[in-house]
């Protein structure tokens, strides 16, 4: 066909590319609308009280259209989680070439924790995450992926994974008790515990951890309105 009707083929190809671009833009716009509407509803009413139907109605779309893009309500809560985490990660990767390896990881973790625990609506959503087993699992998976991004040598399912589970469990309990809100020393203790569970000597990382917590706290304050 291309050889017989070159002009027709070229026009058809260009129109197809334009159509694909338009459809892609529409999909991204819908997903952005869903993300914003779900975030507003979660922050206003709490995760448990919001239904997928309410989110669909807020977006002016059908429940079927909503679940096509995000099959489960959990996906939308993790979307907010990922938005905050990735904003800090992107900033460190773009602007702080000195923050690499485990120091970079602890910096991003500290910034993330400081941000969510000092924003009441987001802190409430964090409480929802830590009290839903399937969300806890996804939270741990996301933060272990972050660890392996900075430390590729870390195992996927071994001591490093166990250390991520232990660190997350400590975060949950301390946050639940209101101890972690603005206590850098507690964050440092959590990071030491992670290293200990991984079989590393925390004393060898004391200065690194302290510097990472300072950098993470500063980053969280700098990007206070992130996501």
Residues 168-193 have pLDDT tens digits of: 999 888 887 777 766 688 899 999 99
Q: Are 77 and 52 in contact (CB under 8 A)?
A: no
Task: Give the residue from 150, 164, 154, 149 showing the smallest Cα distance to 196.
Answer: 164
Cα–Cα distance for residue pair 223/192, rounded to 1 Å? 26
Task: Report if residue 172 sits inside a domain.
Answer: yes
Structural domain of residue 63, as residue ranges?
6-71
Q: Name the domain boundary from 17, 50, 71.
A: 71
Predicted confidence band of residue 225 (pLDDT cuts 50, 70, 90): low
Do 132 and 49 fall within a single domain?
no
| DSSP string computed for 155-211 | -SSSHHHHHHHHHHHHHHHHHHTT-STT-HHHHHHHHHHHHHHTT--GGGGHHHHHH
The pTM is what?
Answer: 0.83
Task: Report if residue 133 sits inside a domain.
Answer: yes
Do 18 and 87 fall within a single domain?
no
Q: Are 111 and 220 in contact (CB under 8 A)?
A: yes
Do 185 and 115 fall within a single domain?
yes
Task: Report if residue 104 sits inside a domain.
Answer: yes
Question: What is the count of structural domains for the chain?
Answer: 2
Task: Report if residue 1 sits inside a domain.
Answer: no
Q: How many CA atoms lie within 13 A of 38 on its CB side?
A: 29
Q: Name the domain boundary from 71, 101, 121.
A: 71
**For all residues of the chain together, what is the average pLDDT?**
86
Do 194 and 139 fall within a single domain?
yes
Cα–Cα distance for residue pair 227/225, rounded to 1 Å? 6
Task: Give the residue from 72, 69, 24 showing the smallest Cα distance to 47.
Answer: 72
The pLDDT of residue 91? 95
Do 96 and 180 fall within a single domain?
yes
Q: Name the domain boundary from 21, 39, 71.
A: 71
Do 159 and 62 fall within a single domain?
no
Predicted confidence band of residue 135 (pLDDT cuts 50, 70, 90): confident
């Amino acid at each position: 066909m291309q050889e017989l009707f070159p002009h027709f083929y070229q026009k058809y190809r260009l129109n197809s590319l334009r159509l694909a671009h338009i459809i892609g833009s529409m999909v991204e716009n819908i997903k952005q609308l869903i993300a914003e509407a779900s975030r507003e509803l979660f922050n206003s009413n709490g995760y448990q009280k919001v239904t997928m139907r309410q989110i669909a109605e807020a977006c002016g779309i059908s429940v079927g259209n909503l679940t096509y893009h995000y099959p489960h309500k959990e996906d939308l809560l993790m979307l907010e989680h990922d938005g905050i985490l990735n904003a800090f990660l992107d900033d460190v990767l773009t602007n702080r070439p000195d923050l690499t390896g485990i120091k970079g990881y602890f910096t991003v973790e500290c910034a993330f924790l400081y941000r969510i625990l000092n924003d009441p609506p987001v802190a409430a959503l964090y409480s929802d995450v830590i009290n839903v087993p399937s969300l806890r699992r996804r939270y741990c998976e996301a933060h272990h992926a972050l660890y392996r991004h900075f430390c590729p040598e870390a195992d996927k399912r071994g001591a490093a994974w166990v250390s991520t589970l232990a660190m997350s469990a400590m975060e949950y309990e301390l946050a639940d008790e209101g101890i972690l809100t603005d206590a850098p020393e507690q964050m440092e203790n959590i990071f030491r515990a992670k290293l200990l569970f991984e079989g590393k000597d925390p004393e060898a990382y004391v200065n690194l951890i302290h510097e990472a917590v300072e950098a993470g706290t500063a980053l969280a304050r700098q990007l206070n309105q992130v996501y």
